[in-house]
Structure 1
């Protein structure tokens, strides 16, 4: 799996793009100045980094995503389980529910997800 870990400022920047895409690069500069107090050069440097990581593209001064917010966070979740629990989903779930109860509805949803994604 490709390493796509973002710093806090990269993630905040990515969230702005996902929230407003497609967005012109000029509008993105204005938005970053307003929301993050960034200069134009900072915005373009950060945009270039995230384009190089394959998350966004900037074509004809229009910025849009190559990876959706959901795809990014799914990637992060998988990497977390791999790094922290050796890739073991049962170990992750055990740690997650340890000491707490899940509702009947949550249990049914988990069962449904397992059935949908188990190997045949």
Structure 2
């Protein structure tokens, strides 16, 4: 899965991930309330998501079904960031990420647990 979503496409996907599969008109109403988009803007962005394979259009009434999960996008975006800024090194990424802020004892414990699961 290698779908790159732009910010506008991410907004449509966030609605679908949060609310479940919806008709395009329902998505348009939600985004009008949340961020002020008009119906045409929402429909244009939905069509871009369909072209990218993130959403499937089903009849009747332009029913939109997600084809990718939030986790798939998070993983792809994270990998892209690590490749772009850290030469693909997860160690460099974590080192840079964790060096700026102090972690709580609970966060350190959770990270240790995660590392132990990966062993």
Q: What interval of TM-score do these two structures reach, taking the shorter chain for normalisation?
A: 0.7 to 0.9
Q: CA deviation at 1:2?
A: 2.1
Answer whether contact 1:21 1:63 (CA < 8 A) is retained.
Answer: no
Q: Deviations over 1:65-97 (max 9, x none)?
A: 111122212221121111110111111111112
Where does structure 2 lack aligned partners over 5 or more consecutive residues? none
Where does structure 1 lack aligned partners over 5 or more consecutive residues? none
The whole-number CA distance in structure 2 between the counterparts of 1:39 and 1:105 is: 44
Q: Deviations over 1:22-68 (max 9, x none)?
A: 11222223223333333332222110101122222221232121111
Answer whether contact 2:50 2:57 (CA < 8 A) is retained.
Answer: yes
Q: Deviations over 1:7-30 (max 9, x none)?
A: x32222222222222112222232
TM-score of the aligned structures, taking structure 2 as reference length:
0.78
Q: Which aligned pairs between 1:81-96 and structure 2 lie closer than 5 A?
A: 81-96=82-97
Q: CA deviation at 1:99?
A: 4.6
1:9 — aligned with what?
8
SS at match of 2:49: helix
TM-score of the aligned structures, taking structure 1 as reference length:
0.78
Answer whether contact 2:57 2:63 (CA < 8 A) is retained.
Answer: yes
**Could you say which structure has the greater relative contact order, defined with CA pairs below 8 angstroms and 6 or more residues apart?**
2
Answer whether contact 1:32 1:43 (CA < 8 A) is retained.
Answer: yes
The whole-number CA distance in structure 2 between the counterparts of 1:36 and 1:103 is: 35
Give the length in aligned residue pairs: 117
Answer whether contact 2:28 2:39 (CA < 8 A) is retained.
Answer: yes
